[in-house]
Amino acid sequence: MAKRLDLSGERFAAVYRLEGDRDRAEATARRICLEQTVEYPDDLIDCSDIREQIFGRLVSLEPSGEERFDATIAYPSEAAGRELTQLLNVLFGNISLEPGIRLLEFDLPPGLAACYRGPRFGREGLRRLAHAERRPLLCSAIKPMGLPIAELAELAYELARGGMDFVKDDHGLNDQSFCRFEQRVERCAEAVERANRESGGHCRYAPNVTAPFDQLSERVRLAARVGAGAVVISPGLTGFDAMRSIADDDDSSLPVFAHPAFLGGFSVGRDSGISHGALFGRLMRLAGADAAIFPNYGGRFSFTREDCRELVDGTLCPLGNLAPAFPVPAGGMKLENVEDMIDFYGRDVVLLIGGDLHRHGPDLAATCRRFASLVREISD
Amino acid sequence: MAKRLDLSGERFAAVYRLEGDRDRAEATARRICLEQTVEYPDDLIDCSDIREQIFGRLVSLEPSGEERFDATIAYPSEAAGRELTQLLNVLFGNISLEPGIRLLEFDLPPGLAACYRGPRFGREGLRRLAHAERRPLLCSAIKPMGLPIAELAELAYELARGGMDFVKDDHGLNDQSFCRFEQRVERCAEAVERANRESGGHCRYAPNVTAPFDQLSERVRLAARVGAGAVVISPGLTGFDAMRSIADDDDSSLPVFAHPAFLGGFSVGRDSGISHGALFGRLMRLAGADAAIFPNYGGRFSFTREDCRELVDGTLCPLGNLAPAFPVPAGGMKLENVEDMIDFYGRDVVLLIGGDLHRHGPDLAATCRRFASLVREISD
A-contacting residues in B 109-168 (Cβ below 8 Å): 143-148, 150-151
The percent of residues in chain A predicted with pLDDT above 90, rounded, is 95
A-contacting residues in B 47-76 (Cβ below 8 Å): 47, 49-50, 53-54
- Is residue A170 within 8 A of residue A144, CB to CB? The reply is yes
**Mean pLDDT calculated for residue range B261-285:** 95
Residue A234, min C-alpha distance to chain B (Å): 9
pLDDT digit string (tens) for A205-230?
999 999 999 999 999 999 999 999 99
- CA A168 – CA A219 distance, rounded (Å): 16
pLDDT digit string (tens) for A263-292?
999 999 889 999 999 999 999 999 999 999
**Mean pLDDT calculated for residue range A148-176:** 97
Report the SS3 class of residue B59.
Answer: strand
Element at A194 (helix H, strand E)? helix A181-199
Would you name the residues of A annotated as active-site residues? 143, 259
The percent of residues in chain A predicted with pLDDT above 70, rounded, is 99
- Is residue A240 within 8 A of residue B236, CB to CB? The reply is no
- Is residue A275 within 8 A of residue A103, CB to CB? The reply is yes
Cβ within 8 Å of residue A245, ≥6 positions away: A217, B212, B213, B214
Contact residues on chain B for A77, CB-CB shorter than 8 A? none
**Mean pLDDT calculated for residue range A30-51:** 94
Cis upstream peptide for A144 (omega within 30°): yes
- CA A242 – CA B243 distance, rounded (Å): 13
Tell me if chain B has a CB within 8 Å of the CB of A20: no
Report the SS3 class of residue A102.
Answer: strand
DSSP state of B93: S
Which one from B143, B168, B171, B276 is the annotated catalytic residue? B143
Overall pTM > 0.80? yes
Picking from A38-52, A56-70, B306-320, which range would have the lowest pLDDT averaged per residue?
Answer: A38-52
- Is residue B169 within 8 A of residue B149, CB to CB? The reply is no
Instruction: Look at residues B287, B284, B303 and name the one whose alpha carbon lies nearest to residue B295.
Output: B303
The pLDDT assigned to A3 comes to 55
Contact residues on chain B for A143, CB-CB shorter than 8 A? 38-40
What is the interface size between A and B, counted as CB pairs within 8 Å? 325
- CA B357 – CA B370 distance, rounded (Å): 10
DSSP state of B137: E
The pLDDT assigned to A44 comes to 93
The Cα-based distances of B40 to A146, A173, B119 in angstroms read 11, 13, 36
Amino acid at the residue A359: R
User: Is A41's pLDDT higher than 50?
Assistant: yes
User: Is A248's pLDDT higher than 70?
Assistant: yes
A301's torsion region: left (phi>0), alpha (psi -120 to 50) or beta? alpha
Instruction: Look at residues A228, A214, A244, A139 and name the one whose alpha carbon lies nearest to residue A181.
Output: A228
- Is residue A238 within 8 A of residue A220, CB to CB? The reply is no
Tell me if chain A has a CB within 8 Å of the CB of B7: yes
ipTM: 0.97
pLDDT digit string (tens) for A287-340?
999 999 999 998 778 899 999 999 999 999 999 999 999 999 999 899 999 999
Mutate to test the interface with A, among B6, B85, B245 (most CBs of A within 10 A): B85
pLDDT digit string (tens) for B115-148?
999 999 999 999 999 999 999 999 999 999 999 9
Reported as a pLDDT band with limits 50, 70 and 90, residue A123 is very high
- Is residue B19 within 8 A of residue B100, CB to CB? The reply is yes
Element at A294 (helix H, strand E)? strand A291-295
DSSP state of B271: S
Cis upstream peptide for A99 (omega within 30°): no
Reported as a pLDDT band with limits 50, 70 and 90, residue B3 is low
- Is residue B89 within 8 A of residue A210, CB to CB? The reply is yes
- CA B252 – CA B325 distance, rounded (Å): 19
What count of Cα atoms within 13 Å lies in the side-chain half-sphere of residue B224? 16
- The torsion angle over the Cα atoms of residues B122, B123, B125 and B131, rounded to 10 degrees, is 160
In the beta sheet, which residues pair with residue A73?
A: A14, A58
Reported as a pLDDT band with limits 50, 70 and 90, residue B300 is confident
User: Is B291's pLDDT higher than 80?
Assistant: yes
Report the SS3 class of residue A141.
Answer: strand
- CA A315 – CA B356 distance, rounded (Å): 43
User: Is B223's pLDDT higher than 80?
Assistant: yes
What is the helix, strand, coil percentage profile of chain A, to 5? 45, 20, 35
Cβ within 8 Å of residue B215, ≥6 positions away: none
The percent of residues in chain B predicted with pLDDT above 70, rounded, is 99
Tell me if chain A has a CB within 8 Å of the CB of B89: yes
**Mean pLDDT calculated for residue range B326-332:** 94
User: Is B220's pLDDT higher than 70?
Assistant: yes
- Is residue B55 within 8 A of residue B61, CB to CB? The reply is no
- CA A22 – CA A330 distance, rounded (Å): 39
